[in-house]
Amino acid sequence: MAEDKAILVVGAGSGTGGEIAKRFAREGYVACVARRSADKLADLVAEIEGEGGRARAFSVDASEEGSVVAAFDTIEVEVGPVAVAVYNAGGFARASITETTVATYRGMWEQSALGAFLVGREAARRMVPRGEGTILFTGASASLRGNANFAAFAAGKHAQRVTAQSMARELGPKGIHVAHVIIDGLIDVPRSRDMMADALDALGEDGALKPELIADMYWMVHQQPRAAWTFEMDLRPFKEDW
C-alpha cells in the first residue's frame, strides 16, 4: 500500500469542492477528486499540480454502492490511506409540491442522503481500524428548515444531516471526527454566476460566500484537537438574513 495520505472529495469541480481539494493539497495531501465524469476534473487536477500539489481524478456515482467502494479501494491501494473524506455532492431542485415528481424527490434523496451514507460508511470502514480520520459533509440552509417549494431538496438535506449526526455519535469515541457544515447563503462560484449573476452583484462586496474561505474552514475543522471537536458549523456572509 502507498504511504501518502489522501483526501477524497466527492463532488469536486470549479467551486467549493475544488477549493477544498486545493486547500488540502497545499498541506501535503494527495487530492483525490471525484464526480460522475472524471474528464471534467482535468482542469482542477492540472491546477493543483501546477501549484506543486498532487491530485488524481476518479469517476464516481455516489448513489451506486459499487462505484463508491471501488473508489475507496483504488485510493487505499494506489495512493494511500484516506485520511479525510468530504461529501460535497448534491443537486438542487425548486418546485411547488404539486409539481414535484417522484423522480425529482428520489433524485434529491439519492444525491444528498444515499450518497452521503455510502461515502461515510466506506470511509468509516477504513478509518475505524486505524483509529483516526475525518469525515466532512456539506449541508445547506435546507438541512435545518423546509421552505416553500423546496420539499425534495430539504428532504434530502435533512436526511444527510441526521445521517452525519448519527455517524458522529457512533464514530467520535472511536477517534473519527465527523462534522456537518451548513452553507447558509449564496456561494460565488461559476455555476451561481451563470444562474444568478445579477443577484450576486447586488449583494456587493463580501455579500456572498467565497469558496476558498469555506475551504479554510474545512481545514480548520480537520485540524481541531480531539478535546474540542465541532460537529456542526454554519457559514454565512455577514449580510445574510437568518
Strands (E), the chain: 6-10, 30-35, 54-59, 82-87, 133-140, 176-183, 232-235
* Euclidean distance between the first and the last CA atom of the chain, given in angstroms as a whole number: 47
Q: pLDDT at residue 1 above 50?
A: no
Per-residue pLDDT, averaged over 170-183, amounts to 98
Instruction: Give percent of the chain with pLDDT exceeding 90.
Output: 86
Q: What is the pLDDT of residue 200?
A: 85
Q: What is the DSSP letter of 187?
A: B
pLDDT category, 235, cuts 50, 70, 90?
very high
Q: In CATH, what number does 6-235 get? A: 3.40.50.720
What DSSP element (H or E) covers 46? helix 42-50
User: Is residue 91 predicted with pLDDT exceeding 90?
Assistant: no
Residue 52, all three cell numbers:
506543486
pLDDT at 163 over 60: yes
Q: For the chain, what are the domain ranges?
A: 6-235
- 242 or 30: which leads in pLDDT: 30
Three-class secondary structure of residue 100 per DSSP: coil
**pLDDT score, position 192:** 78
Query: What is the arithmetic mean of pLDDT over 86-99?
Result: 91
Q: Which of 18, 16, 51, 10 lies closest to 210 in space, CA to CA?
A: 16
Quote the CA–CA distance of 230 and 242 in Å, as a whole number. Answer: 21
For 102-148, how does the pLDDT look when each residue is reduced to its tens digit (9 = 90+)? 999 999 999 999 999 999 999 999 999 999 999 999 999 999 999 99
pLDDT at 108: 95
Q: How many CB atoms lie within 10 A of CB 201?
A: 12
- Residue 3 pLDDT: 67
Q: How confident is the model at residue 12 (pLDDT cuts 50, 70, 90)?
A: very high
Q: What average pLDDT is seen over the chain?
A: 95
- 15/6 Cα distance (integer angstroms): 20
Local structure of 85: helix, strand or coil? strand
Please state the pTM of the whole predicted model.
0.95
Distance of alpha carbon 3 from the chain centroid: 24
Task: Give the three-class secondary structure for 5.
Answer: coil
Q: CA 190 to CA 197: how far, in whole Å?
A: 9
